[in-house]
Amino acid sequence: MPEIWLNYGITDVVLDIRAENLEQKIDSNGTTLEDSAINEKLSSIDLSNPMDLVVLHNSRSVQKIINSLFTICEQKSLPFPNVLAEKKIMNQVKGGMPEGSSINEFDSTELSNSKLVFIGEMEFDGLFGYETISTRLIKKFGQNYMLSAYAKRKGNFPAPGQNTDSFEEAKKFSNSFEIQGIEIVANSKGIVDFSIGHPSETLSLTKTLESFAFQDIEKQKSMIISTGKDSSNYTLSKSLSSLWNCSTAIQNGGLAILVAECKAGLGSEALQQYLEGRLSSEKLQNPTKYIGGMEDLLFLTEVQKNFQIGLVSILPEFYAKKLNLITLSGIKDSMDYILKTQGARQKVTVVSDGARVLPR
């Protein structure tokens, strides 16, 4: 019996699946950089100048870059960069930093500060096509611009890995600031590449991500999807990106089960308002005001017309049912549900790094 480990929060859970029920296991590809190559590339940064390093989200690859920068500074007897992050992820980021280092809350009014160096790991995004430093900035600090980006979406279905007009809005927003970025492309094993420069320049890494993330497969009837890392299943809103990445590879009438702890809850104002009855699905088509995460709510209502979605998480069952999701108590329950509803001989595709692969 194959033993497959899938990420669930800060731990991994085992999926016991019979060989005759396993169609295929999809993981991210790509050759990772050695530590020496990472340090050599980071040495191109002038670390003698004061730097405010802003962490836009937490992941192992982000932590790796931060630790490497601190090591270089220590070796050269240079001051450590100031590390900043949003309050809600400060403890996460702090936990992966070198002992004795400090972190402070980032104030968005400082966006015009030329000392700012934003750091983030590139993934896919249902609205913009790609999640980059530019798209993270417009989501967090450019609410007035998000309505235009939302209006320019590619229809009502997610478009991960595609060039979109919404992406151009994000580029325009980041271009208005004199800032720098460290954009990372990683897989489940480590850092594949990273780029240093203005966020409008580091976008070229999308080609690197495509080179190992795009995987051509036949449409599947059953799929179990893990995001691959706890930073990508910290909230339901973030976890849904892994589902969007796999959505075109699932048959009509099929079943996709998302394994995502969602420790921090919904992570979306739109999802919260919908569950509280303050936002209807009809208002998602042509809104006059953008509400954070409304694209995920729109995509969810549309893809559910094509296939069912199950969820393994710690979210209250009330939330899942209200969103028309099948609630499952654990990974074993997921496999039992598939075999019970689709037959004992049903073959299942398992995606172990859903945030960084794009089966199509």
* pLDDT reported for residue 148: 96
Strand partners, 7: 12
Measured CA to CA, the distance from residue 202 to residue 345 in angstroms comes to 46
Q: Tens of pLDDT along 43-64?
A: 888 888 888 899 988 899 999 9
Measured CA to CA, the distance from residue 148 to residue 296 in angstroms comes to 16
CATH class of 3-28+215-359: alpha beta
* pLDDT reported for residue 1: 63
How do the domains of the chain map onto residue ranges?
Answer: 3-28+215-359, 35-210
Residue 2 has pLDDT above 80, yes or no: no
Residue 113 has pLDDT above 80, yes or no: no
24-38, 97-111, 139-153, 227-241: which has the minimum mean pLDDT?
Answer: 97-111
Q: List CB contacts of 130: < 8 A, sequence separation 6 or more.
A: 122, 123, 124, 160, 161, 167, 203, 206, 209
* pLDDT reported for residue 93: 85
Q: Tens of pLDDT along 7-33?
A: 998 889 999 899 999 999 999 888 999
Measured CA to CA, the distance from residue 140 to residue 267 in angstroms comes to 12
311 closest CA partner among 296, 324, 302, 299: 324
Per-residue pLDDT band for 106 (boundaries 50, 70, 90) equals confident
Between CA 27 and CA 34, with CA 33 as vertex, the angle to 5 degrees is 125
Q: Tens of pLDDT along 174-202?
A: 998 888 999 999 998 999 999 999 998 88
Measured CA to CA, the distance from residue 282 to residue 284 in angstroms comes to 5
Mean per-residue pLDDT over the chain, rounded? 91
| Arithmetic mean of pLDDT, 227-231 | 88
Residue 265 has pLDDT above 90, yes or no: yes
Burial of 301 (0-12, 13-18, 19+ CB in 10 A): middle
| Arithmetic mean of pLDDT, 235-248 | 96
Same CATH topology for 3-28+215-359 and 35-210: the answer is no
Using a CB cutoff of 8 Å and minimum separation of 24, what contacts does 271-276 make?
A: 271/236, 271/237, 271/296, 271/297, 271/323, 274/322, 274/323, 275/318, 275/319, 275/322, 275/323
Superfamily holding 35-210: LarA, N-terminal domain (3.40.50.11440)
Cα–Cα distances (Å) from 256 to 13, 57, 222, in that order, read: 18, 26, 6
Between CA 134 and CA 38, with CA 211 as vertex, the angle to 5 degrees is 70
Measured CA to CA, the distance from residue 64 to residue 38 in angstroms comes to 9
* pLDDT reported for residue 293: 95
